[in-house]
Amino acid sequence: MTEHELVQMALAAREQAYAPYSNFRVGAALLCSDGNVYTGCNIENASYPCGICAERTAAAKAISEGHTAFEALAVVGSSQKICTPCGLCRQFLFEFAPGLKVLCAAADGSYKVYCLSDLLKGAFGGKSMP
Ligand code: THU
């Protein structure tokens, strides 16, 4: 699985987005250490806070199938600006993979690579827990 392929999977997952309120469609693809890939899209709701981001959809699918070791995540939104995970998703993912490689893609498939711990400086959790 190349970085390019993971981004392409995120782009494909974006097709399933349910985003009638924001019209901002997002797709994510999460590569697990065992080679499995779980994809996700954002799913909005008339009661706005009920919505879930693409990244957490993908992570919840993986975790609920017993896969909690994450290698890389690709995320793509609907604009030519790269899409970076929101704060909630950063914290959610940090729980399982502080060193996660995050491929933040633009709609044309170009992307920048970040490390999750750089995106969430001074994160709560992990070694700071009692
Ligand atoms: N969204 C994601 O799915 N992932 C992100 O990284 C940023 C935001 C979703 C949430 C909401 O459905 C829409 O994009 C607009 O914020």
pLDDT band at 130 (very low <50, low <70, confident <90, very high): low
Q: Judge whether 26 and 120 are in contact, CB under 8 Å.
A: no
Pocket of ligand 1 (CB under 6 A): 19, 22, 24, 26, 42, 44, 51, 53-55, 75, 83, 85-86, 89
The C-alpha atoms of residue 68 and residue 13 are separated, in whole angstroms, by 20
Q: Judge whether 102 and 75 are in contact, CB under 8 Å.
A: yes
Mean pLDDT computed over 93-117: 97
Residue 24 Cα to ligand 1 middle (Å) = 7
Whole-structure pTM value: 0.96
Residue 53 Cα to ligand 1 middle (Å) = 5
Q: Which atom of ligand 1 is nearest to the CA of 43?
A: 12
Per cent of the chain over pLDDT 70 is 96
Single out the residue of 45, 49, 35, 47 nearest to residue 6, CA to CA.
35
Single out the residue of 53, 38, 57 nearest to residue 83, CA to CA.
53
Single out the residue of 2, 10, 1, 40 nearest to residue 107, CA to CA.
10
Tokens, residue 12? 């494909």
Dihedral pair phi/psi, residue 127, rounded to 5°: -70, -15
Q: What is the tens place of the pLDDT at every residue in 34-78?
A: 999 999 999 999 999 999 999 999 999 999 999 999 999 999 999
Residues forming beta bridges with residue 27, ordered by sequence position: 41, 76
Q: What is the tens place of the pLDDT at every residue in 76-85?
A: 999 999 999 9
Q: Which atom of ligand 1 is nearest to the CA of 25?
A: 14
DSSP letter (8 states) at residue 82: P
Compute and round to an integer the Cα radius of gyration of the chain: 14
Q: Judge whether 27 and 13 are in contact, CB under 8 Å.
A: yes
